[in-house]
Each structure stands twice: as structure tokens, then as C-alpha cells.
A and B are shown apart, each in its own frame.
Chain A
């Protein structure tokens, strides 16, 4: 049971955290034909946009209400109205998703009221999907923005269903946390389909940000889940929520449609994957396909091969709560010791992280802890690379943003196959580090034995 502490510095040094509104915009990016709109000054959007582009290496649609100094003081109705009208006319989206920012929250703009007024003044927008979520920058973090936005999407876009009406037994809803990559969602979709289930994934960034070449240029998202499909999600037999952050959205779905949900706090690791497969087998009435039985064996073998390298490692990890919980738990189960753990925002899973303490703080906290406690493996998003270089320990990139390596969208960590890949990547990193930096020399051979014995070229 970890003790959760909060860093009490006045100055955040090397932030781990990113802001809520772009977490919200990220969720909107998983919808088809969507245009995320940040209600704020243009810089906030521009920074968010750059961040997504650097991570996904894709054109990313995102707009701003372009609040100026004056409109910020006077209130932003006209800017929201104009932005919606402009976007509607120019890019013909299927949905506009609006997130507030620190600027407009400080003023206290009532955007829900703005939307009602816009619909009144422009009858052709009466039925047009406009979803607003309040996400001030000065509270919480990226993950919270995603969480709130998905929950709101459920509340606004899912049609209520008659509880007596029969459900479609093959349909399931998937509500993924923002720590899952497009690759993870693709893997999940395949698994579900292999059980004969038809998933509706909300939001589905695997359709929109998985790296594809469209036939035509479109200024909105391409792929992702459509508004029409979201509307019918109430007909599904089950909702599968992944990551503790998705509880809120799953509950909203249940409240509105009566669809029961099962929350999987993590999907990386042997035991969580077993639980997941068992559940799918139960709800689909089908045995676990041979492919996954085989994959389970492969994962077990990978664990055997890698435990020599990962076992005993002192892990320093900086990530948003669900990702932190997911990866650190898996590595704990591989024999690593979660020695330094830093995260961005409060969450019920933090107490269950297998570490003595979890700090809500920044990368400086992580670096100092890692140094003081002699960590020899660092896992973090790309911003962690400076700390890893200074600490001179192997560094594995996980999470968002990952701007200095390719393929962020296709990294997978869910289920047997994803866990196996992650384990191999990490073990190889450790092996390479040993080859490069820890070759035995006479002096080191006389000091206490190193943690792992070298099995090179055996």
C-alpha cells in the first residue's frame, strides 16, 4: 500500500504533467469527423496541437476560439458563436467538441448557456452535436480532461434505451483510458472480434490516429467512432472500461442505458490478461481462441526469459496514474522493485501501486528520488530523457508525449501479446545497457556482485 504524498514546491521543475483541456481535446480526436475546439486564447491550442503532431506525426485538427485580451474580459459568447459557425461552414464536421481553458474559466464563461443561445440564434445548428466540457488548466491534469470528456460524451450523445427492450448480445462497449495507444485499441478490437463480439470503442483513436494515408484531404479527424454509433451504444450487453479513470464514464453509461459494466484497472501482465480473457469467454459464450492460448504460452516463456534481467531492477517511473499503475504493477510482478514513483494527479489506484510511496510531483522529484535510491531503470514519457541521461541509466519511453522516437502510436502493452512485447523491449534495453556500460573490469569484480549475472552469448 503506497502512501500518496504531494510535492510542496512552489516551483515545478521539468513538468511531468500536461493540462486538462488538451486531454479533453485528445478524447474528441477519437471521434469521426470531429473538430476539437479549445475555448481560450490561441496559444493554448497551438501548444496542444504541436504536442499531438510531435507525438503522432500526423496532421491533427484542433481549433481555438481565439480569445483576445478584450474578449477575455468581456466574456466569450461571440467568440464561441463565431468559432462554431466558422468551423461548421468551412470544415463541415460531424461534431464539434469544446473544452474550456484556464483563461475562460478564470473569467467564468458559461459555455453551456452559450451553446443554448447559439442553437436558438442559428436554428440549423439545433440538432448539430456540440459537446462542451469544463476543463480548467489550473486544476488536475491531462488524464482528468480525457476522463471528464468521455463521461460527458456518454451523457450527451448516447440515446437512452428502454430497459425492457432486448439487447444485442454480440455488442459490447469499450471505454479505454487515455493511456492506451492506437495500437492497444487495435489489439483489443481484434481480440473482441475473435470472440465474435462487435465492439464500439469510445473514443477510438485507433481509427483516427493510427497513421494512415487518406485518399482525400480532410480538415477534421478521419476514422474514429461516429456520432451515430455512439448514439446506439445503449444496446450493448456489456461495457468494458479500461483504467480506473473510466469508471465515471462507465457509470454514466449504466445510469443512462442500464448497460452493466466491468472495469479492468489494468490490462498489462499475465494475471490481468487472464481475467480479461475469462470475462470475454463468459460474455461471448465462446472458448478462448487457440491463438490466445498460444499467446499466453509465449508470454509465460517471455517472462521466464526476461526475469533474469528485469528481476531486481530498481524502477523509477513517472506517468499519469493509470499508466503508472499498469506498468509498475506488471514490472513488480516480474520481480522489479518500484523504487521511485511520481505521478500527476490524484487517483484511487495510486494507493495500490506496489511502492512505498507515490509522489504527485514533477520530473525533478523523480530524478532526485531515482538518484537518492539508486534506481537503474527509468520509465517515463519523452521529457524524462534528460533525467535519464543525467542519471546515466537505461530509459524506456512510455506514455504521452513521445516526440523523439517513431512509432508511439503502435507501441502496445495490453493483453498477452502487448505484455510480451513490452517485456522484451525492456529486457533488451537492460541487456544493451549492461553490454555498453557495465562490462566487468578487475575493480568491479572485487566489489559486491552485481544484481544480475551476465548471460551473454550463452
Chain B
């Protein structure tokens, strides 16, 4: 555990994290994990973050050491895509039992590693530490070391018990494991001056493949993507890249900055979301590679590709402009994505009524401010109740957010689009942003919204034939005379389902006893058309009603 807390301290001491750099010495020591509020917290644990960061390595076995909770409840829930091996989709866990908790789980862990190698023979195994084994003191580093030596295979401990902190911290801890045990352990077959690393790109919904063909065309090779569609060997060789791009999130910035320290690989933070950002990123990659020895022609090729792609994308977006005029968007998303999406949305003519900046750095906020001008509605934190109110009052026509808040929007009968991890459309690069516009268009103009916003017929005073009809049944069931005017006197609240079902069942019970004469009464409930109303009012004989009363 002491080595773990040292690692955590080390991770917090990240000079390249803008958020961190602005803090005082003391604040920095505390790290960036907020004290979580019992009864008011949501979000994943460090183990979750570590798994998110590493699971996109597709050809290794990911073994979770812990009771069934950590892996059994969570496996198979992310949509990274693989171009090769599907081993990453299988789930491996030690599923610790009480006996392991009492006597220690190290033996079981060792045996589990052995079984995996015998059955699947992966190039490497990542072993994730979770809370319970950490509490009882299972030393996964030692087990991994022994297993590594014994089986002649990299077995990499990822020390990430959930209770040490948030998802974000977990991703950093995963990065530490890569730095300590993987990166630089193998040599690539060949290197070129055009080799880059992408760090923090997970290839969700295959997004990486929206940008890879462009890189291929320009002549840039992804030596290693950490970790989208990644292979063990690639990351082991990644120290030979000439430059790196830290994609979109700061979760693994420790990997980028330590690789710069250790191997002299310069990096920049960029994003492929949004047209401008994609172009910026491509130019920066080209510039860095040229600075490190690539041919200056690379920049020409890049500019040509950028110009072509931009023109295509803007043209594609322009056609949405008339359809989006006057439409308002509420953008609730983490950090960096806010500003990179804002530009594209604005270009398509959408008005942004609010964007969350909960996870953004002050730098991010500045950019948003610049993009949105005076009417920057930056939202620090929005409770679901407030969100629901905003949407219900039609302050926004559509909400873009992560899956957790989707039902807030949908239940308010407001279009919603997932722009977080669980989404099933890829929004990266020039193609992706046009996809996004298409999805927004589909959502906004789906004909369901008008139908859903219509009140139910019985909620509307104008067409309350059903309330009338039901009230009549109530009156007669309560012993009153079934008159056509009964509706006015009956309490309107008594239109509930229960009274209706009781009536129906009574009717059915009576069928054997009274033959088909009761069907006249059933018409009352089943006819829904105007003609039905006519029919039931005219055919409402007193006799079946009294038959019902007799049944009481």
C-alpha cells in the first residue's frame, strides 16, 4: 500500500496538468480528488478508470482481482472497437470468495494467471487490484512478478483499488503501470520520422478509424495508440515515436509528460472533435514531426488534406443551417469536449443556451468564453431537477450530454443526444462532426415530439368523453342512477385505471352467468372512437348495469 500511495502522490505532482499548475503547493499535495460526499456522490471508482484506460488494448487478458462486484457488474459495457483480437471482450476475474478474504487471495490470483496463459496464451496479462484484496493486503505486485518469471510473459500489476479515488485518478494509475512495466520494453521492427503516439484515445465506436485514413494519406504512422484498438507490442514499442498527441482528455497526461521526460518525445494536447480542432491537431502533428526530422513536404500534404476536408465538412454542415435556425442547445459534457463541440454547433447555426464547465480547466473556460462571446452560459453544476425544469420549460430544444442524464431529457419530452462514452455514433474528425449534425437534425425533427407533448385526451377539458364515460360507470357502480348527466356530478378524479379494471373483471366473471347481455356495458370501456361514444351513450341500458350491481 505504501508504494501505491507514493504512486498517487507522484501522479498528483503533475506539472503539465493546467489545473494542477494553478494550485498552491499544499492544495496540490491533496490531489485532485474531491472529498466525496456520502449520499451525494455519483461516478466511477479508480478501478473503473484504470479499466477504461487499458481495456482498449485488445490482445491482452484483463484480469480483475476481487470479488464479483467489480467485474461481474461491469464487464462488457463499453464500445471500444478492435480491428483484430477480441480477447479484450472476454472477462477475467478471480471472483474472490469468503475463504480468500479470510486466508488471502494471492494463491487464487496466481492460479488464475496460470489458467489464462494455458487457455488463451495472450501476449500479456494486466492484473487489476480492487478494494477487497487491497484491504486484506494481497500483494499483486509480488504475484505478478513471480508469475512473470515463471511463465515468461509480462504480467502487469495495475494498482487501482476503487476506494483510492475517482475514475480520473484510476486512468492515471493505469498510465503509471504502463510507464513502469510496459513502455520501452520492446523495440519496433522499424521506425520512421513519421511515427506518432496518440495518448488517451480509446476508439469508442471505432472513432479512431475516422481519423486514421487521413493520417495514412498524409503519411503519418500511428506507432501506438494508447489505448484505442491497441496491441501490447505497440505500446511496448511506443517509446520510439517522434511526437505524441494527448487526445482530448487529461486522464493520461502523466503518460505523455513522462514519455517526454524519459524519451524526449514532445507532445501537445489536442482534439479531433470539431473541424477547427481537427485541423489544428493535424497541423501540430505535422509541425512537430518536421521539427524532429520529417520532410517539410509533410506540411504541404497536411495543408492540402485539411483544406479539402474542411471545405467538404463546411459544405455538409451548411445545409443544416436553415433547419437549425433559432434552435437552442443545452450542452452538458465533461471538460474539453465542451469547447471543441461549441464551435461546430455554432457554425451550424445552433444557439447554445448553456454548457457545463464542471470538469473544465480555466483555459477551457476562456476558450468557451471567447467562442460564445457575452452570452456564455457556463454552468458549474446542474441538478437533475433544474435540468428537468429547464427542458420542460423549453429553454432548450435539445440536450447533448452523457448517458446518465438522458432520462431527465427524454422524460421531459425533449430531444437528447449522447455525446459520451456509451454513444453508438462516432463523432470524431471531419466526418464525425457532420454525423453529429445529422444526428441532431434527426433528433430535433423526429415527429414523435409533437405527439408526446400532446396532453392525454382525459387531461384536456375539451375532449373529455372518456372522463365522462368513466364517471358514469363510477356513479352506477356506487349505486346511483346511470344518467347521461352523471358525468357532471361525478368527481373527475375517479377516472383511475383501478376502477376500470375492476369493472372489466366483474363483467368477465358474469359472462358465464349472464350470457352475452353484458357486452353492451363492455362497449363503454372498449369503444374509443367518436362513434363508440355515440354507441355507448345510446346503448347504455339500465339492465346490464344493475346486473353489475348485483355482482357486488
Residues of A within 8 A of B (CB): 9-15, 17-19, 21-22, 37, 40-51, 53-54, 57-59, 63-69, 72-73, 78-80, 82-87, 90, 101-103, 106-107, 136-139, 141, 190, 193-196, 213-214, 217, 219, 286-287, 289-291, 362, 382-383, 386, 403
Contact = CB atoms under 8 A, between A and B. Distances in A.
Contacts of B327: none
A15 B73 CA distance: 9
A43 B112 contact: no
A400 to B, nearest CB: 11
12 contacts: A9-B115, A11-B115, A12-B72, A18-B68, A40-B131, A53-B407, A68-B163, A68-B165, A87-B40, A106-B135, A137-B67, A139-B97
B213 interface: no
A218 to B, nearest CB: 9
B76 A10 contact: no
A78 to B, nearest CB: 8
Contacts of B41: 42, 63-64, 66
Contacts of A45: 42
Q: Main secondary structure on chain B at its contact with chain A?
A: helix
Contact of B411 (A12, A82, A213): A213
Interface in B87-111: 89-98, 100-101, 108-111
Interface residues of B, number: 77
Given A41-B162, A53-B407, 6 more contacts: A11-B63, A43-B44, A102-B66, A106-B101, A190-B501, A217-B384
Nearest to A60: B407
A78 B36 CA distance: 13
Given A11-B92, A11-B115, A14-B90, A46 B45 contact: yes
B488 to A, nearest CB: 26
Interface string B160-177: 011111000000000000
Most chain B beta carbons < 10 A, residue from A37, A43, A48: A43
A107 to B, nearest CB: 7
A11 B39 contact: no
Contacts of B418: none
B161 A102 contact: no
A18 B72 contact: yes
B311 to A, nearest CB: 39
A95 B69 CA distance: 24
Contact of B74 (A50, A58, A139, A190): A50
Interface of B: 35-48, 63, 66-77, 89-98, 100-101, 108-116, 119, 131-132, 135-136, 161-165, 384-385, 388-389, 403-404, 407-408, 411-413, 501-502, 505-506, 508-509, 511-512
A48 B116 CA distance: 27
Residue in B36, B67, B69 whose Cβ sees the most chain A Cβ within 10 Å: B69
A194 B505 contact: yes
A51 B94 CA distance: 21
B69 A47 contact: yes
B101 A22 contact: no
B95 A17 contact: yes
B208 to A, nearest CB: 22
Contacts of A37: 39
A443 to B, nearest CB: 30
Nearest to B132: A102
A214 B411 contact: yes
Nearest to B89: A386
A42 B44 contact: yes
A37 B42 CA distance: 12
A66 to B, nearest CB: 4
